[in-house]
Structure 1
């Protein structure tokens, strides 16, 4: 997400990151209205209603690929920046550029979002804020991502000279092997850390096999520019794999309610649903990522207007969206509307307000320099 120097040919990367950052806003709005997942405040808890199942399916699909895209693109710019600055300066620069947003959210925006959420229980914002600050509460929230990116950057930097050799685009067989490795690793990790269980700074380790592999793949493909010129056959083939695979998970979930041996918590454990979910994610992710990359490369060669603004706002939107999403949810709480209608209105307004606030903040030279 935090952006390295972009080649003039690669402005589409900004737009793609901006669009996916807005999807993160919509994703977190869905969590407020009944999708399964942790968030600061929920108007509706997950249940078996149609709206809750639909929003859960939406978030499950997103989770399979959207954070992985950020790691892939971040890795793709590591070798260039490392060669330009040298290891020590580059790592210090990453520490500042990734650490500052984390500190701003952890110490200010995160506690403020929690305080907003607690107003639904009758607590005053200032009282909750003061209590959190007295306890030195640090809330990473969605900024877990930048902490993970910093750790991965430190770990991969010594190996960049070897990783960035010129190589042909990964073969179909190699990508199948990668998908199977990610699925097997995720299944095993989720035996100890099920999906939804966090570790250290909000990391859900059950998702990390895919994140780590995609970050390394970004680095490995940088010199050969794999991800900046995705071959049409690869994108087409994996799109077909994704289309066939995407129905497998809901089919197994539905079957689990009818066939006892197919039942079990999909979040982790020795059961069929957890096994299918772990392997389903990379099959969906590879298809979505390759198709999106190719689409963006063709569609946003010279972005302007709203798309350019989205690209410029990606990191800022990601940083500031939590209190906006929660605040709007609380403001709309009293409206007796259908859940899905309220979700659409809340998500649309959140996206719009995030973009406006981001553009206002980006007028500041300080903000543009550090965010």
Structure 2
């Protein structure tokens, strides 16, 4: 999400010379879709029954359950998908800039929005909470006690992942074998090696599900890491795995070479997994899914991982084959997507307060607020990027 989806140069390259030249519009368009899902996710949390947002109106009717299902389905894959796409562009960016310059650029592109959110936007999005629930203490104390980076946990975590990539790169390779800044992919032969087969994909899916299950014995569902502000640390194995997969896929051109049938298989897998949830055996496991070490927890980890893998395969192939182009509107949406991610908490809290007096079912409020929020978010993002120097960050 935070690296421009452009490969090392615009000249045509032979199949074995690393990732194809030019802009990968389908990945830009996937970033648009995922950014829309982030906004919808937080609108759904606002009017559903999952307490995880700055402003909430817990549902008083059954339609809130539909919003909870949307949140569960989104959470299973969308942030992991962001890490996959972000990881895909890390090796090339590191090759072009060199490790130190790459990290300096990441500090600008990731660190400045994180700092701006903490200092400028967070007071705005927490103002309602402070007024309604904590106005008897000084704001400075409330600010410190309730410290967290909000949705910017993603850029915070991505910054750590990028640092980890550079360190591993230095440890794994002799200094002389690390490409000089401006160099391309060092091993073009990787791009012609056979793709991992079906057994490898199934094996990795099973392994990730088991690792997630074991991790949740230490970090159960519903855990929250204060100070760091990671709202879903129980998904950390997925985030790490998909970021690493993206980095590995870059030199091997895996995303460009996924066969069409794998996309259809992914779609079928995602549909079957969805049917197992709504309504199905997974949604009927009850509160035991929250308990570490239970078979229900294992079933949920397996469901989430299977659904995520299916959706990722399906969307990659669909967008690569059908949406690998951009017109004027798509270019506008893509250029402003990162700024939307940065600004959307302020927009959603403001709209939530503005619609507070409207009595309606949860699904109706979700629909109206979402339809208003999306154009407002992109309009605000466009205005932000018109500020001097803003495009260097956003």
TM-score (norm 2): 0.84
**2:162 is the alignment partner of 1:153:** yes
Query: Which of 35, 41, 54 is equivalent to 1:21?
Result: 35
Matched-pair contact (CA < 8 Å) for 2:258–2:317: yes
TM-aligned CA deviation for residue 229 of structure 1: 4.1
Hey, what does 2:109 align to over in structure 1?
97
| Structure 2 gap ranges (5+) | 8-21, 174-185
Q: Where do residues 99-118 of structure 1 align in structure 2 (5 Å cutoff)?
A: 99-118=111-130
Work out whether residues 14 and 314 of structure 1, in 8 Å CA contact, stay in contact via their aligned partners in 2. Answer: no
The Cα of 1:143 is off from its aligned counterpart by 0.7
Equivalent-residue separation in structure 2 for 1:114 and 1:128 (angstroms): 14
2:262 to 211, 234, 246: 234
Q: Does 1:88 align with 2:114?
A: no
Cα deviations across residues 158-207 of structure 1 (Å, max 9, x unaligned)?
44577984443322111111111111111112122222211251222210
Inter-CA distance 29–128: structure 2 relative to 1 (3 Å threshold): farther
Whether the 8 Å CA contact 2:54–2:125 is kept in 1: the answer is yes
Residues 86-111 of structure 1: CA deviation (Å, up to 9, x unaligned): 11111221122111111111222122
Provide the rounded CA distance (Å) in 1 between the counterparts of 2:362 and 2:284: 27
Q: 1:122 to 1:336 in 2, by over 3 A?
A: farther
Question: Is 1:296 matched up with 2:319?
Answer: yes
Check the 8 A contact 1:189/1:205 in 2, yes or no: no
Per-residue CA shift, 1:24-57, capped at 9, x if unaligned? Answer: 0110010011142511121115x8x521221111
Two-structure CA RMSD over aligned residues (Å):
2.4
Check conservation: 1:111, 1:132, Cα contact below 8 A: no
Runs of at least 5 residues in structure 1 that lack an aligned partner in the other structure: 257-262
> What is the match of residue 71 of structure 2?
59
**Count of paired positions:** 360
Whole-Å separation in 2 of the counterparts to 1:351 and 1:119: 27
Q: C-alpha displacement at 1:84, in angstroms?
A: 0.6
Q: Give yes or no for contact 2:63–2:361 (8 Å, CA) kept in 1.
A: no
Q: Is the Cα–Cα contact under 8 Å of residues 89 and 247 in structure 2 kept in the other structure? A: yes
Query: 1:174: which partner in 2?
Result: 200
Secondary structure at 1:211's aligned position in 2? Answer: helix
Inter-partner Cα distance in structure 2 for 1:154 and 1:130: 32
Q: Is the 8 A contact 1:105 1:319 kept in 2?
A: yes
Report the TM-score, using the length of structure 1 for normalisation. 0.89
Map of 2:210 onto structure 1: 184
Q: Deviations for 1:184-238, whole angstroms, at most 9, x for unmatched residues?
A: 1111121222222112512222101111111111011101221234311111112
Structure 2 SS opposite 1:4: coil
Output the CA distance in 1 between the equivalents of 2:342 and 2:139. Answer: 19
